[in-house]
């Protein structure tokens, strides 16, 4: 069945000012303004919203739009070219220095005049500027009661720096005004995971150690470090990906049902999961963590260089991490949660795989090929590419000739089921900020609990040399051993192409 989707009434946003600080940078051009454009095309941005790109150096509007267009081109057609021009008309580029406050008056003048209008400041700037930027917004009076602040990762590089960063933001803004983005939480399938678990009864009754054997969460990238080499070499996969995206996904799989789908209740439940993670320390590190770094190889038949050549020096930074985590509570005791992420892997894919326990007894064991095909049931939640859900099960092969079993699957591809294009995560999250809905944003205690779990792992990792893996493969051999030791194996994700 194909379902035509329309913007429902509750999805409309009130008139809102969007001030993208660092509005001429990479993040703004690749993600934030294209997201605003898509929402504009769908009529979700009211006439009266101010759309401002703020940075120290301004550039002519035409040049800005020329830089932005390639990231929006995919949806611009002859028929809607006028909408692109209208969007361009709405964008204002204003010189603003978050250190000195120069340009604050121009920003104030460009915003809607009334104090009741939500004013969103999106910090697409380095976190080293956050403290100054918050002080400047207060000092210049740009911060109003209705101001909402959006901040991006990295939120610190360890617990101590995350606390310091938070303190500097919380000195000016209240928690209710702060939106810490993890764009993985804005993905359609991630929200569908909530619907799947909490709007249906069939899965939730199976959602525990009584029926689930193990959980795998993979976030694989084909890209290397590119222009982010110096940032990445300081961070590595554990801090760049596991501390935020992978742990957030783990929380959503493992959390208890909140009594209401509202921000603080959801965040309380996620926090409980983070606090229940069994610590990984020196004693169990080698059994629970495997790290890798890519060497030369090829991806899609194109040669790619090694990590050390890309960063320009020999380095111990891990570009791959696989972890075996345990959650110490009644629901999950004894169920391993395997997390893995890496760069220059064989494909780009993000998936959560829930593997259920095998049936307790195989009554078909004498049937032809029955033991080969009787795989456990798996629920695959695909975040990218091709967002969707797949439930694999064993079925009877049609026709006479005895009980022949074969692996079948129920496949729900959101792109095929819903007629319209699915909004990107940033689109949904920006609209949630305008509506004042913090459910899909992290609270400071969650960020800090995630660092408290990751810090000891990073400290141990620093003492070790990551194992090399060839670019274009699925990571180092030890990551496969991590699974095999417990009778498990990584399920190869569905990749682009």
Q: Which residues bind ligand NAP (CB under 6 A)?
A: 21-22, 24-28, 30, 55-57, 96-99, 124-127, 129, 152-154
CA pair distance 110, 50, nearest whole angstrom: 7
Return the CA Rg of the chain. Answer: 24
Which residue lies nearer to ligand NAP by CB, 94 or 322? 94
CA–CA separation, 258 vs 458, rounded Å? 31
Angstrom distances, CA of residue 212 to CA of 22, 207, 376: 45, 7, 10
Task: Identify the active-site residue in 38, 157, 183, 245.
Answer: 245
Helices 130-139, 159-170: crossing angle, 10 deg rounding = 10
Closest approach of ligand NAP to the CB of residue 237, in Å:
15
How many beta carbons lie within 10 A of that of residue 212, not counting itself?
A: 21
The least CB distance from residue 196 to ligand NAP, in Å, is: 28
Report, in Å, the least distance between residue 28 CB and ligand NAP: 6
* Closer by beta carbon to ligand NAP, 150 or else 345: 150
- Closest to ligand NAP by CB, 50 or 124: 124
| Active-site residue flag, 245 | yes
- The tokens describing 444, both together, are 């400071």
The reply to whether omega before 385 is within 30° of 0 (cis) is yes
What residue spans of 155-237 are helical by DSSP H? 159-170, 188-198, 229-237
Q: Which is nearer to ligand NAP, 21 or 266 (CB)?
A: 21
Look up tokens 């009644």; give the residue: 330
Q: Angle 81-90/33-41 helices, nearest 10 degrees?
A: 120
Least Cβ distance, residue 102 to ligand NAP (angstroms):
9
The CB-nearest residue to ligand NAP is 25
| Helix (H) or strand (E) segment spanning residue 331 | none
CB proximity list for 459: less than 8 A, separation 6 or greater? none
* Closer Cβ to ligand NAP, 150 or 193, answer by number: 150
Q: How far is CA 222 from CA 71, 302, 347, in A?
A: 20, 12, 5
**Nearest approach, Cβ of residue 73 and ligand NAP (Å):** 18
Nearer to ligand NAP, 336 or 423 (CB): 423
In the bound state with ligand NAP, the residue whose beta carbon lies nearer, of 234 and 366, is 234
Using CA atoms, how far residue 453 sits from 8, 67, 158, 159, 450, in Å, is 40, 40, 10, 9, 5
**CA–CA separation, 151 and 133 (whole Å):** 11
Please report how close the Cβ of residue 303 comes to ligand NAP at its closest, in angstroms: 25
Q: For residue 193, give every residue at least 6 positions away whose Cβ sits within 8 Å of its Cβ, in sequence order, or none.
A: 252, 253, 352, 381
Query: What whole-number distance in Å separates Cα of residue 43 and Cα of residue 167?
Result: 38
Distance between CA atoms of 50 and 113, rounded to whole angstroms? Answer: 11
Q: How far is the CB of 132 from ligand NAP (least distance, A)?
A: 7
Distance CA 199, CA 196 (A): 6
Tell me how far, at minimum, the Cβ of 157 lies from ligand NAP, in Å.
11
Comparison of 166 and 460: residue with beta carbon closer to ligand NAP: 166
Could you give the residue numbers annotated as active site?
A: 245
């Amino acid at each position: 069945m194909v379902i035509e989707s329309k913007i429902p009434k509750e999805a409309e946003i009130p008139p809102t000012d969007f001030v993208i600080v660092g509005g001429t940078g990479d993040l703004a051009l690749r993600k934030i303004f294209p997201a605003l454009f898509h929402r504009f095309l769908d009529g979700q941005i009211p006439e009266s919203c101010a759309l401002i790109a703020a940075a120290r150096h301004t550039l002519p509007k035409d040049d800005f739009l020329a830089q932005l267009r390639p990231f929006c081109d995919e949806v611009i057609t002859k028929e809607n070219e006028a909408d692109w021009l209208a969007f361009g008309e709405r964008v204002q580029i204003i010189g603003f220095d978050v250190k000195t406050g120069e340009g604050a008056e121009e920003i104030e003048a460009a915003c809607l005049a009334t104090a009741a209008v939500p004013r969103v400041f999106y910090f697409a700037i380095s976190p080293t500027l956050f403290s100054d930027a918050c002080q400047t917004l207060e000092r210049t009076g740009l911060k109003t009661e209705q101001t909402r602040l959006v901040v991006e990762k990295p939120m610190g590089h360890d617990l101590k720096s995350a606390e310091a960063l938070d303190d500097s933001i919380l000195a000016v803004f209240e928690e209710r005004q702060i939106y810490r983005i993890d764009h993985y939480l804005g993905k359609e399938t991630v929200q569908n995971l909530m619907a799947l678990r909490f709007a249906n009864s069939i899965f939730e009754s199976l959602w525990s150690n009584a029926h689930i054997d193990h959980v795998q969460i993979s976030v694989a990238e084909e890209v290397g470090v590119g222009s982010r080499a110096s940032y990445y070499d300081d961070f590595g996969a554990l801090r760049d990906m596991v501390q935020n995206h992978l742990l957030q996904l783990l929380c959503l799989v493992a959390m208890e049902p909140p009594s209401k789908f509202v921000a603080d209740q959801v965040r309380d439940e996620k926090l409980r999961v983070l606090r229940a993670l069994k610590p990984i320390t020196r004693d169990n590190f080698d059994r629970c963590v495997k790290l890798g770094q890519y060497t030369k190889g090829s991806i899609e038949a194109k040669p790619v260089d090694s990590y050390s050549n890309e960063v320009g020096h020999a380095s111990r930074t891990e570009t791959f991490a696989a972890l075996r985590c345990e959650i110490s509570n009644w629901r999950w005791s004894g169920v391993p949660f395997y997390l893995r992420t890496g760069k220059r892997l064989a494909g780009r894919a993000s998936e959560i795989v829930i593997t259920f326990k095998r049936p307790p007894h195989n009554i078909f064991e004498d049937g032809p090929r029955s033991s080969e095909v009787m795989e456990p049931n798996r629920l695959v939640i695909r975040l990218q590419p091709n967002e969707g859900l797949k439930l694999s099960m064993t079925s009877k092969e049609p026709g006479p000739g005895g009980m022949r079993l074969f692996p079948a699957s129920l496949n729900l591809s959101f792109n095929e089921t819903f007629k319209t294009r699915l909004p990107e995560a940033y689109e949904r999250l920006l609209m949630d900020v305008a509506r004042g809905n913090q459910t899909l944003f992290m609270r400071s205690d969650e960020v800090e609990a995630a660092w408290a779990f990751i810090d000891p792992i990073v400290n141990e990792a620093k003492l070790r040399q990551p194992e090399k893996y060839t670019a274009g493969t699925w990571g180092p051999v030890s990551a496969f051993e991590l699974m095999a030791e417990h009778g498990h194996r990584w399920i190869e994700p569905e990749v682009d192409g």
